[in-house]
């Protein structure tokens, strides 16, 4: 069964940086080609809807959705390691949320309901 596992969350001070990872597994075992899946990062703060941040298709075709993180967050993908990353710089308290990675076949989308697979999430807390 395809699985996505996020890691790298934690407590960081405002202005700090974190790099989140999302490791994908089980796609080949399920007869699926991971390389045709787009990979996205979403986040959900308490009391708020889950929002799309960025999507990466192929090795380096990126679509950014959230104006609030432009210039601070960067998504990347290492196909050899079946892993995507979210580099987060200049973190702000309002970035505190559970961060999720998700996979969707072929095309990027910012809709939660369009995703085919989800990870369990990793908690990021930005506080002094």
Partners of residue 87 on adjacent β-strands: 19, 74
Which pLDDT belongs to residue 32? 87
Alpha-carbon 55 to chain mean position:
8
Which pLDDT belongs to residue 58? 86
Which pLDDT belongs to residue 33? 87
Which pLDDT belongs to residue 60? 87
Residue 110 structure tokens: 């910012």
Q: Taking Cα atoms as reference points, which of 93, 88, 101 lies closest to residue 34?
A: 101
Q: Kindly report the CA angle at 24 between 21 and 26, in degrees rounded to 5? A: 160
Residue 59 structure tokens: 């090795």
d(C-alpha 97, C-alpha 18), whole Å: 13
| 87 C-beta neighbours (distance < 10 Å), count | 14
d(C-alpha 73, C-alpha 116), whole Å: 23
- Reading the chain (128 residues) residue by residue, the pLDDT tens digits are 999 999 999 999 999 999 999 999 988 888 888 888 999 999 999 999 999 999 999 888 989 999 999 999 999 999 899 999 999 999 999 999 999 999 999 999 999 999 999 999 999 999 99
d(C-alpha 34, C-alpha 37), whole Å: 5
């Amino acid at each position: 069964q395809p699985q996505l596992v996020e890691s790298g969350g934690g407590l960081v001070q405002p202005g700090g940086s974190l790099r989140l990872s999302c490791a994908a597994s089980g796609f080949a075992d399920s007869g699926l080609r991971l390389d045709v899946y787009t990979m996205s990062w979403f986040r959900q703060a308490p009391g708020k809807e889950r929002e799309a941040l960025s999507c990466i298709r192929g090795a380096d075709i990126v679509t950014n959705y959230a104006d609030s993180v432009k210039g601070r967050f960067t998504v990347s993908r290492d196909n050899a390691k079946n892993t995507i990353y979210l580099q987060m710089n200049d973190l702000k308290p309002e970035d505190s949320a559970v961060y999720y990675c998700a996979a969707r076949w072929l095309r990027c989308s910012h809709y939660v309901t369009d995703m085919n697979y989800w990870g369990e999430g990793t908690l990021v807390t930005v506080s002094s």
